[in-house]
């Protein structure tokens, strides 16, 4: 706590570095089984730099190679499969306390999905005793105003055991 009774900002230094995805899971408020959007073997990186920039990417394991050298020359179905099996965005980041929780706010300037550009992606931020980082967020399921989906992504710092 600071002298004025306000909570100090979470330390952004704790995020700095490269983190490898261990698991991405989505739970649902209506009790349906949890899902793994890119499967149990999904891979990913999230990088936080000292100048306040972040970049995240996640891919389904075992993505097939394209049939040609350029994405522009392969069939549309291959381009669609590549798009649907990969997730990426980047931009600035900062940390904050909100309702008693440490959060990281990603201010998206670049993304595979153009609808992400200009958005703020707010993630609850929890560090595990094992050195892991869990980033999570809840949002309504598309096309539903009552069912929430809760994303939980677990990361391990590069070089950590």
Distance CA 93, CA 73 (A): 36
User: Token pair 């009774």 is at which residue?
Assistant: 5
Q: Show the tokens assigned to 146.
A: 């009552």
**pTM beyond 0.85, yes or no:** yes
pLDDT in tens, the chain (161 residues): 344 444 556 888 999 999 999 999 999 999 999 999 999 999 999 999 999 999 999 999 999 999 998 888 999 999 999 999 999 999 999 999 999 999 999 999 999 999 999 999 999 999 999 999 999 999 888 877 789 999 999 999 987 65
12-157 domain in CATH 2.40.128.320?
A: yes
């Amino acid at each position: 706590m600071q002298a004025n009774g306000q909570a100090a900002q979470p330390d952004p230094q704790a995020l700095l570095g490269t983190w490898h995805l261990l698991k991405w899971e989505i739970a649902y408020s209506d009790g349906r089984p949890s899902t793994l959007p890119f499967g149990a073997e999904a891979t990913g990186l999230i990088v936080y730099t000292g100048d306040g920039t972040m970049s995240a990417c996640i891919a389904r394991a075992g993505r097939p190679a394209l049939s040609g050298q350029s994405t522009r020359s392969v069939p549309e179905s291959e381009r669609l499969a590549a798009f649907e099996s990969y997730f990426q965005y980047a931009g600035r980041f900062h940390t904050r306390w909100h309702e008693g929780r440490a959060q990281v706010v990603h201010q998206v300037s670049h993304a595979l999905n153009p609808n992400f550009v200009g958005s703020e992606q707010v993630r609850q931020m929890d560090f595990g005793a094992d050195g892991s980082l869990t980033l999570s967020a809840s949002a309504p399921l598309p096309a539903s105003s009552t069912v929430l989906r809760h994303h939980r992504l677990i990361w391990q710092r590069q070089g950590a055991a």
